[in-house]
Amino acid sequence: MQNLLSDIVVVDLTRALAGPHAAMMLGDLGARVIKVETPDGGDDSRGWGPPFVEGESTYYLSANRNKESVTADLKSAEGKEFLTKLVRRADILLENFRPGVLDRLGFSTERLHELNPGLVILSITGFGHDGPEGGRAGYDQIAQGEGGLMSITGETEPTKVGAPIADLLAGMYGAYGALAALHERSVTGKGRVVRTSLLASVVGVHAFHSTKWTVAHELPRRVGNHHAQIAPYGLFRTRDDIVQVAVGSEGLWRLFAPIVGLDPADDRFASNSARVAHRDDLTAAIESAFAAEPADVWLERLAEKGIPAGKVRDFQQVYEWEQTLSQGLLIDVDHPTLGRIQLPGPPLRFDDNPHAGARAVNLPPPRLGEHNDSVRAWLDSE
């Protein structure tokens, strides 16, 4: 198939996760992503572990498929010359330095656009590029806490999301902003700077919790494994395991209630508002019924009535699940050190590709400096 972004060159100056994730998304769409790393160890995530397999960090492997790696010391004259050549050939440049660092290296926004007026610059910071705390370093869990996400997650104390969600969301927002700017360039011929941050990414997904505060002036609170504004919607114990059930409408409630021996017209439960107000009584009644049978029996009964429900799977179960496999969410790549390995794949599918992503062939995460010679030869070819 034709790679969607096959004519786009991306210079990736980022490290850790938010920026590399954004660059990987562009690489998944077919862009040529050239990852510029320091010669003395490269991306920080190359050292994050265990686990390491044959010296390769599995953390690094998760965020750097479909890229090439070159090394350069951007503080040196040679490194600056190398980056200058790259910028002139690039369509998008990604950076996640603290505000001002790229300027001190001699590559201010003005200088970058002097070298390449059509360059789209994606800048990802921890807390924004300006404002009273714009210079703060950003790490995922700090942003989850500062951005309010931990205040609505967990049961008895603030709890981080298990995945580094602030980093990942910042990468996703950044990639979609960069593509919007790239589209604009096709009309104007000019690039622009796109900015996002870990803080912005977390605040950007507050969803209904945000308007609960900004409009109703009610402070969102933690409700554990149950939905804050819908009931029953959450995790319930059966005789042998746990299940999750989402009764998201009054029609579903009228189907669900008889399954667990409840009267759908009971005043305590007759509307969603009433069910939320009497959540503890409702949960106790459901779990009392669920205790009579194993989880698989309840899941079958719920499925027969069209009630959304499911298991809580561990990662082994997820990656062995036929539904996961059917969606092309695992890809095989040939790694120069590890041989043939499986990686989580892109989460998008296009109608002319039975697999996830938009590349005819997916590239393994590169070794440090693996493409030094080929990239430099390409730059010197014109």
pTM of the model: 0.93
Look at residue 66 and tell me if it is in a domain: yes
Domain final residue pick, 310, 335, 368: 310
> Which tens digit of pLDDT belongs to each residue from 297-346?
999 999 999 999 999 999 999 999 999 999 989 999 999 999 999 999 89
Look at residue 368 and tell me if it is in a domain: yes
Instruction: Kindly state whether residues 20 and 163 are assigned to the same domain.
Output: yes
Look at residue 330 and tell me if it is in a domain: yes
> Which tens digit of pLDDT belongs to each residue from 36-86?
999 999 999 999 999 999 999 999 999 999 999 999 999 999 999 999 999
Q: Which residues of 313-327 are buried (b: 16+ CB within 10 A; e: fewer)?
A: eeeeeeeeeeeeeee
pLDDT cut 90: percent of the chain above it:
91
Instruction: Kindly state whether residues 136 and 249 are assigned to the same domain.
Output: no
Instruction: Kindly state whether residues 171 and 294 are assigned to the same domain.
Output: no
| CA angle, residues 46, 49, 51, in degrees to nearest 5 | 110
Look at residue 249 and tell me if it is in a domain: yes
Helices then strands, counting H and E runs in the chain, come out as 16, 13
Instruction: Kindly state whether residues 30 and 164 are assigned to the same domain.
Output: yes
Instruction: Kindly state whether residues 303 and 350 are assigned to the same domain.
Output: no
Mean pLDDT, the chain, rounded, equals 95
> Which tens digit of pLDDT belongs to each residue from 252-293?
999 999 999 999 999 999 999 999 999 999 999 999 999 999
Instruction: Kindly state whether residues 129 and 71 are assigned to the same domain.
Output: yes
Instruction: Kindly state whether residues 252 and 196 are assigned to the same domain.
Output: no
Which pLDDT score is estimated for 2?
A: 61
Domain range spanning residue 186? 9-205+324-379
Q: What amino acid is encoded at 376 in this protein?
A: R
**Reported confidence tier of residue 355, pLDDT bands at 50, 70, 90:** low
**Reported confidence tier of residue 354, pLDDT bands at 50, 70, 90:** low
Which pLDDT score is estimated for 178?
A: 98
What is the rounded average pLDDT of the residues 87-99? Answer: 96
Look at residue 211 and tell me if it is in a domain: no
**Reported confidence tier of residue 361, pLDDT bands at 50, 70, 90:** confident
Instruction: Kindly state whether residues 295 and 328 are assigned to the same domain.
Output: no
Question: Which one of the listed residues 12, 91, 140, 167 is annotated catalytic?
Answer: 167
pLDDT at 356 over 90: no
pLDDT at 350 over 90: no
Look at residue 319 and tell me if it is in a domain: no
Instruction: Kindly state whether residues 293 and 330 are assigned to the same domain.
Output: no
Look at residue 216 and tell me if it is in a domain: no
How many structural domains does the chain have?
A: 2
Instruction: Kindly state whether residues 87 and 192 are assigned to the same domain.
Output: yes
Q: What is the CATH number of the domain that holds 135?
A: 3.40.50.10540
29 and 52 in contact (C-beta within 8 Å)?
no
Domain final residue pick, 279, 310, 341: 310
**Reported confidence tier of residue 360, pLDDT bands at 50, 70, 90:** confident
What is the rounded average pLDDT of the residues 149-175? Answer: 96
Look at residue 349 and tell me if it is in a domain: yes
pLDDT at 357 over 80: no
Question: According to the 3-state scheme, what is the secondary structure of 147-176?
Answer: CCHHHHCCCCCCCCCCCCHHHHHHHHHHHH
Contacts of 184 (CB under 8 A, 6+ apart): 192
Active site residue 167: yes
Instruction: Kindly state whether residues 305 and 159 are assigned to the same domain.
Output: no
Instruction: Kindly state whether residues 292 and 361 are assigned to the same domain.
Output: no
